[in-house]
């Protein structure tokens, strides 16, 4: 009996110690934190401090739940400093695990963004799958401050824009970890989507994602527009959907829109005449989404014309964007270097020091193959009678 009570006393002791020494250390009820949805980072040119604009979501109400976004800006010498300064204004501690986006201003992006990403990557609460984007407006804060229509908060609006990007494929989607991965790898430079503000008919200003910000190392060097972005995504094999518009296929005003079902790009580095050549083979499966003409492009003859023309224009677009990046931005955002690294490791060891210069001069060969598939082949265009 004595042994028994000793044992139970021991168990009780273990429990008490377990609970009192480790229990509750991180206890906080869900309503005791401010849920941050997104952050925009600017730099104050006057005192060189960071201005952080944070969007919070305030859920409230019993039966009818209301989500009210609120935006607070704060200054800090570093990112973490600014975030802690937030308590002085906000009261509650900021909770970062549900933050969706981090918007970086153009100024900071041009200066280099590695140092501000450290906190976001290091902190335990922030997620590595945050969307990163660059504001090409004057400040990043105004993107967050912009009105949006669908959601309770701009951050969620931006989150949706990225989540559904695969059906448009005109801007890249970059999570934090992907950016840092590209930044730290050899033979590839990172990119980020860019955001602008546009007016709607009701004179509201809403954020819009438009094009790509090109980085060299961690500094932004330039922009690509939407078609250039798509061509760039073709090269990077990141196209999962979207549409291709082919104007004036056979004649004036014969416009066809193709919907991409599947796209596969193979990069292959080859040595031809002692010279490096990057072969880019794009194979696209697409369906006819819209024929804005009564001309028959379904029949074999018309279809061949359509395929040929589209293949050609995609090929040109891709060649153009490669050329632009090579000549203007001099940054290997396509990952040609890492392809060579993967396929010819011994050669890469020799050329890696000079890769930046070699990239500019790198020859490329683009081949595009378009397959038209899908049930739209059976439905004839609308005929206009007399």
Partner 1 sequence: MINSKIVNVKVLSMVKIIRKQKNGETKPLNDSSPIKSFAENIKALKQLLESDESITFRNFETKDSAECVLIFVDGMADRKVINENILEPLMNTSICEISDKSQVPDYLMNKALLSDSVKKTDDIDEIIDSILYGETALLIDGIDDVLLINTKGWKVRSIEEPSAERAVRGPREGFVESIIINISLIRRKIKSPDLKFMFKEIGSITKTKVCLCYIQGLTNEKILNELVKRLDSIDIDGILASGYIEEFISDAPLSPFRTIGYTERPDVVAGKLLEGRIAIIADGEPCVLTVPFIFVEYLQASEDYYDNYIFASINRLLRYLAFFLSTSVTPIYLAFVTYHQEMIPTPLLLSIAASREGLPFPTIVEALAMAVVFEIIREAGVRLPEHIGSAVTIVGILVIGQAAVDARFISAPMVIITALTGISSLLIYNMKGALIFIRIAFIILSGFLGLYGYIFGVIGLFIHLFSIRSFGIPYMLNTGSFSPQDQKDMLIRAPWWYMYYRPKLIGSKKPIRQSNTTKRGKKLI
Which residue ranges make up the site for partner 1 (CB under 8 A)? Answer: 18-19, 22-24, 26-31, 33, 35, 57, 59-63, 65-67, 95, 97-98, 100, 125, 127, 156
Q: Which is nearer to partner 1, 59 or 112 (CB)?
A: 59
Closest to partner 1 by CB, 28 or 342: 28
The minimum distance between CB 122 and partner 1, in angstroms, equals 16
Q: How far is the CB of 18 from partner 1 (least distance, A)?
A: 8
Q: Which of 364, 361, 363 lies closest to 330 in space, CA to CA?
A: 361
Minimum CB separation of residue 163 from partner 1 in Å reads: 12
Q: 33 vs 319, which CB is nearer to partner 1?
A: 33
Whichever of 22 and 375 has its CB closer to partner 1, that residue is 22
Q: Report the residue number, 175 or 225, with the smaller CB distance to partner 1.
A: 175
Find the shortest distance in angstroms from Cβ 145 to partner 1. Answer: 21
Minimum Å distance from CB 68 to partner 1? 10
CB of 50 to partner 1, least distance (A): 25
Q: Which is nearer to partner 1, 123 or 225 (CB)?
A: 123
Closest approach of Cβ 241 to partner 1, in Å?
Answer: 24
Q: Which is nearer to partner 1, 53 or 155 (CB)?
A: 155
């Amino acid at each position: 009996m004595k042994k028994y009570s000793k044992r139970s006393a021991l168990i009780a002791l273990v429990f008490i110690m377990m609970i009192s020494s480790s229990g509750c250390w991180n206890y906080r009820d869900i309503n005791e934190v401010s849920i941050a949805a997104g952050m925009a980072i600017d730099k104050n040119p006057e005192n060189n401090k960071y201005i952080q604009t944070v969007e919070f979501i305030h859920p409230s109400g019993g039966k009818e739940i209301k989500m009210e976004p609120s935006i607070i800006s704060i200054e800090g010498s570093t990112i973490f400093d600014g975030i802690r300064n937030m308590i002085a204004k906000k009261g509650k501690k900021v909770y970062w695990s549900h933050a969706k986006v981090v918007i970086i201003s153009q100024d900071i992006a041009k200066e280099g963004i590695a140092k501000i990403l450290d906190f976001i990557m290091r902190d335990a609460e922030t997620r590595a799958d945050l969307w990163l984007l660059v504001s090409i407006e004057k400040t990043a804060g105004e993107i967050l401050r912009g009105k949006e229509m669908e959601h309770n908060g701009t951050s969620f609006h931006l989150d949706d824009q990225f989540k559904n990007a695969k059906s448009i494929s005109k801007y890249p989607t970059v999570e934090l970890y992907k950016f840092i991965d590209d930044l730290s790898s050899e033979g590839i430079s990172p990119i980020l989507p860019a955001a602008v503000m546009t007016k709607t008919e009701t004179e509201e200003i809403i954020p819009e994602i438009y094009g790509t910000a090109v980085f060299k190392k961690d500094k932004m060097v330039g922009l690509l527009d939407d078609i250039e972005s798509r061509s760039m995504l073709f090269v990077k094999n990141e196209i999962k959907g979207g549409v291709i518009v082919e104007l004036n296929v056979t004649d004036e005003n014969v416009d066809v829109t193709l919907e991409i079902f599947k796209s596969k790009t193979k990069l292959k580095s080859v040595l031809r005449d002692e010279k490096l050549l990057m072969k880019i083979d794009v194979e696209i499966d697409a369906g006819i989404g819209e024929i804005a003409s009564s001309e028959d492009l379904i029949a074999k003859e018309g279809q061949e014309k359509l395929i040929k023309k589209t293949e050609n224009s995609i090929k040109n677009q891709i060649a153009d964007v490669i050329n632009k990046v090579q000549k203007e931005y001099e940054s290997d955002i396509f990952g040609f270097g890492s392809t060579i690294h993967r396929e010819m490791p011994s050669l890469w060891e020799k050329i890696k020091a000079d890769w930046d210069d070699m990239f500019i001069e790198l020859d490329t060969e683009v081949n595009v193959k378009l397959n038209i598939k899908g049930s739209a082949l059976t439905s004839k265009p609308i005929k206009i009678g007399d």
